[in-house]
Every structure is written in C-alpha cells, then in structure tokens.
Amino acid sequence: MRLQTGRAIKTVIFAETQAWAIALAKQTYGQQNLISIVEDDSHKTKPSSPEQQRIKSLNDQAKRYRDLAKQAKAQDKLKSAQSNFSKTMNRDS
C-alpha cells in the first residue's frame, strides 16, 4: 500500500478467498494505492497420491454410512415414541 508521503507499507488482509481480499483492499485503500498483491501459499499442500485419495474416499463413504445408520436409529426411536404416545392417548380417552 502506498502512503500519501510516497512511502509504501505492507498490509496483511485475511479473507476466505484472494479475490475477496483484493476487493476489500481496493475498497479500503483505493485501487491506485495498491502496489502489488502476494498470495500466501503456505496453507496449500501437495496433491494426494491415488492411494491417499482412495483411502479418503473410503473414509468419507464410511462416515456417510455411519450418519445414515444414526439417522435410521433416530427415525426408529421417533416412530416408537409416536406409537407409545398414540397408545397412551387412546387408553386415556
């Protein structure tokens, strides 16, 4: 960023995407005051190997099945509770 005195300073902006960070900087400091934009690559990792991708896919699939099993159990409990409630209400009537 360029100051009115002609000197430059470094400013760090954290945003979800680089495009949002650039838009925020332009809005805050003005297009004419941006000298350069550098993206931080430290959070990027190297591509996964096919074996790692397969393992991740299997783990994701297993998680989906666990979630489906939990959902089915919850639905069964709900049906049972509704049935018990109906029986109770019919008995009291």
Top mean-pLDDT range of 8-12, 17-21, 42-46, 60-64: 60-64
Claim to verify: residue 51 and residue 93 sit in the same structural domain = yes
Claim to verify: residue 29 and residue 59 sit in the same structural domain = no
Of 13 and 61, the structure prediction assigns the larger pLDDT to 61
The residue range of the domain holding 27 is: 1-39
Claim to verify: residue 75 and residue 91 sit in the same structural domain = yes
Phi and psi of 66, rounded to 5°?
Answer: -60, -45
Q: Which pLDDT band, with edges at 50, 70 and 90, does 2 fall under?
A: low
44 φ/ψ sector (left φ>0, alpha ψ -120 to 50, else beta): beta
Claim to verify: residue 35 and residue 11 sit in the same structural domain = yes
Claim to verify: residue 88 and residue 54 sit in the same structural domain = yes
Span 37-92, pLDDT tens digits:
887 766 666 778 899 999 999 999 999 999 999 999 999 999 999 999 998 888 87
Give me the number of domains the chain comprises: 2
